[in-house]
């Protein structure tokens, strides 16, 4: 019997790498004032080169601008415009840009089929270590974002970060918090189990997560999380083919967005569909593309977004 493992054919666009947070393991950010904002013309030039028949998800991934910064509205407007541009060119936006205000989330809901924010870990102890210089990583801020997404009926992706000094109890508490919110609102599509992987741009020489622990954590997550939530693992951070299969057997159901570059982990290239299929197919797994919004949430979207989703779904099937 063939089992299905899903993935999202994706492309990542970054409005800015500038970020006021300074997580010690980050390989993405640059200091505020040392980067730039992507122009709409540059965004258009990039997107027009893509095949909208092969790419479903436009992941809008950005560094964070401080909520009280004079550049906050400029930053948010650029994100909104990129989402509108993506939709006009036949892509489905999924935005993950850090914590947003209620109003910002409500406005982005109109131009996104889904959104996301990593919980990372619930314990406040990380504010004294890897998140010491990252104010928006306060657990209550991130939990509030998950709650707001539920209240606003935004299909949502979240996840936890592994390998930053967490214990098994820390992992369990983070997953339980996600499970409680899902039982309340039912809007969480996926939980990502994200292994920290040592990169060349991070501030401290923080070691990579030991991948031997991942199957056990997947099993733990499957026991805690409702069945309605997909468990996602990034295949570029699980490089050994036998080990990837072990993770799937443990309960992982999705491989996330597969795009030309992993902006969060630029030292780890994404595999291609073809290379993954060569691993999965002989072991009885069928690799299946999906949209960035799951079908049970289509009715939550505006009529215009529903139209875009159905059009993309038809193209993806064909």
CATH number, residue 140: 3.20.20.70
Which range marks the domain in which residue 217 is found? 3-317
Assigned token pair, 173: 């508490």
**Rounded CA gap, 57 and 81, in Å?**
16
The stretches of the chain forming alpha helices (DSSP H) are: 40-48, 72-88, 102-109, 139-151, 168-185, 214-224, 241-250, 273-280, 303-317
pLDDT in tens, 103-118: 999 999 999 999 999 9
Neighbours of 42 (CB within 10 A): 12
Strand duo 285-289 + 3-13: pairing: parallel
| pLDDT exceeds cutoff 80 at 206 | no
Overall number of domains in the chain: 1
| Mean pLDDT to the nearest integer, 185-214 | 90
Residue 73 pLDDT level (bands cut at 50, 70, 90):
very high
User: Any residues with CB less than 8 A from the CB of 235 and at least 6 apart, and which?
Assistant: 244, 255, 256, 258, 270, 271, 276
pLDDT in tens, 19-41: 999 999 999 999 999 999 999 99
pTM listed for this prediction: 0.96
């Amino acid at each position: 019997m063939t089992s299905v493992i899903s993935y999202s054919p994706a492309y990542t666009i970054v409005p800015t790498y500038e970020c006021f947070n300074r997580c010690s393991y980050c390989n993405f950010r640059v200091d505020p004032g040392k980067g730039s904002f992507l122009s709409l013309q540059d965004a258009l030039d990039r997107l027009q080169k893509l095949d909208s028949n092969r790419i479903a998800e436009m992941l809008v991934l950005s560094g964070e601008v401080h909520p009280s910064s004079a550049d906050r509205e400029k930053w948010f407007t650029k994100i909104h415009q990129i989402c509108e541009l993506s939709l006009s060119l036949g892509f489905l936006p999924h935005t993950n840009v850090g914590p947003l205000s209620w109003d910002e989330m409500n406005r982005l809901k109109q131009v996104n089929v889904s959104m996301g924010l990593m919980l990372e870990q619930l314990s406040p102890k990380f504010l004294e270590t890897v998140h010491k210089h990252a104010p928006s990583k306060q657990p209550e801020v991130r939990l509030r974002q998950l709650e707001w997404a539920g209240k606003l009926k935004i299909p949502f992706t979240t996840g936890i970060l592994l390998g930053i000094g967490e214990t098994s109890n820390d992992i369990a508490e983070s997953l339980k918090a996600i499970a409680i919110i899902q039982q309340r609102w039912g809007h969480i599509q996926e939980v990502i189990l994200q292994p920290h992987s040592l990169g060349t741009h991070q501030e401290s020489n923080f070691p990579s997560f030991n991948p031997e622990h991942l199957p056990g954590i997947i099993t733990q997550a499957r026991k805690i999380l409702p069945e309605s939530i997909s468990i996602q693992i990034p295949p570029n951070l699980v490089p050994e083919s036998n080990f990837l299969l072990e993770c799937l057997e443990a309960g992982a159901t999705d491989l996330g967005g597969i795009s030309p570059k992993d902006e969060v982990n630029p030292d780890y290239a994404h595999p291609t569909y073809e290379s993954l299929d060569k691993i999965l197919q002989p072991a009885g797994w069928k690799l299946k593309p999906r949209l960035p919004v799951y079908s049970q949430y289509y009715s939550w979207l505006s009529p215009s977004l529903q139209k875009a989703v159905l059009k993309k779904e038809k193209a993806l099937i064909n």
